Amino acid sequence: MADYTRQCGVARMPAELYKYKPNCHLAVFEAMLNVGSIAVVKQSFGVLALAVALAGCTASPPESSETMEEPEVTEAVESPEGSDGEEGEAIAQVPQSIEPVTVLEGLEHPWGMDWLPDGTMLVTERPGRLRMIRDGQLDPNPVPGVPSVLAVGQGGLLDVAVHPQFEENPWVYFTYAAGSPNANQTRVARARFDGSALSDWTVIFEVERDKADGQHFGSRLAWMPDGTLLVSIGDGGNPPVELDNDLIRNQAQNLSTRFGKVVRLNDDGSIPSDNPFVNTPDADPAIWSYGHRNIQGLAIDPETQQIWVSEHGARGGDELNRVEAGGNYGWPLVTYSREYSGGEISSEQSRPGMVDPLVVWTPAIAPSGLEVYRGDRYPQWEGHLFAGGLVSQDIRRIELDASGNVINQTPIAIGQRVRAVRQGPDGLLYILTDDPNGRLMRMEPS
């Protein structure tokens, strides 16, 4: 049943009941029973939703993320009266007064953002610039001190993260692509920032093997509560890109390389002594988890300390995963994704010893940017995940139960490719859109 439900997208119950694929009749029944607070208790529309779901079951193959966008998902709204005339269960709705508002434009393919203690926002632009935004105004001059980066394909200046004790340790951290189109790698660097310029730019970590082409660098940064730094690194690229006469994506399963991994570092780039593979022969001690394709969404819940990632599939099969130390997330041995040509990548979608995704998006949304909301500006959204979508041009608001299981998701239309989603120090959600005239947007309650 687990295979059927994941194939049919049941993790996204109930808002997408009409989208299921082969073998989904039984999956719909199980999902509606298993998410009782969402599907069964809502008696006033439960039977109708089931009928619509079963009627919509098809055997159509997944669409390519290059040709199809994810259909809009609407959140069910029912009468406050239950079917028996008594007061129905209270259902938290998306407040209609919360809307995405453009703060400013004029950012060239912005990629990452973070805040200094004084509220200044730092934003990376993929061509290789760091920008400052103060009081909603973009400084017209880029911050000096950023070296040349490889701005080819998906490469360039990527994420940015301010040291969690910046006032005592004025370091800012970056991920970026370096090298040439035929020999490149993902790097992590840090530099001192005095409020106007960067200095002492130092590479503290890099993928040890060069690769060809401009694909799958990753790369997001996130600080753990203990002050260590998580970094996501892509698998190196799609076929026909190779390493050592094998498809480079297979390196995601190779513990001796850094492709297709999440790594954990101390703030100076050294390796924490309690990393899961420190004592594993021939394994890279920096590795925290493996079997990833290309993570561009990485968030740590400050309340539960759970680590969440969103990662790209190829043709469909994008994933939301909860990451644990030492976990193998399967790529490319198990996947719901298909080749861009339409062919099969793997006949397996699950395997003992590998971690199944909590959500699979087919068609692809091309996820980039992820945040766990912990604030008081949108109390209805407390603890929800917010996943940006490049192809879907929206943000998926993902509701979790008390155990961290996904029970619902709802899109928030943005209208441009969403590259990053972050919670600011003011408790509001901020959005960067991937465009030559990219926007900084904010979810504003009125």
Active site residues: 216
* Neighbour order of strands in the sheet with 261-265: 221-223, 229-233, 261-265, 287-290
Q: In Å, how far from its chain's centre is CA 319?
A: 8
How many CA atoms are closer than 13 Å to the CA of 10, on its beta-carbon side?
26
CA atoms of 161 and 114, how far apart (whole Å):
6
Do 158 and 126 form a contact (C-beta atoms < 8 A)? yes
Q: Omega before 256 cis (within 30°)?
A: no
| 225 burial via Cβ count (<10 Å: 0-12, 13-18, 19+) | exposed
Instruction: Using the Cα atoms of residue 147, residue 153, residue 155 and residue 157 in order, give the sign of their dihedral.
Output: positive
CA atoms of 283 and 66, how far apart (whole Å):
36
CA atoms of 20 and 390, how far apart (whole Å):
23
Helix (H) / strand (E) containing 53: helix 43-55
CA atoms of 147 and 323, how far apart (whole Å):
32
13 closest CA partner among 409, 304, 338? 409
Helix (H) / strand (E) containing 407: strand 406-413
Phi-psi region of 248 (alpha: psi -120 to 50; beta: other; left: phi over 0): alpha
Angle between helices 43-55 and 24-34 (to 10 degrees): 160
CA atoms of 443 and 432, how far apart (whole Å):
12
CA atoms of 279 and 295, how far apart (whole Å):
26
CA atoms of 444 and 179, how far apart (whole Å):
41
CA atoms of 355 and 62, how far apart (whole Å):
22
* Helices and strands counted in the chain (H then E): 3, 26
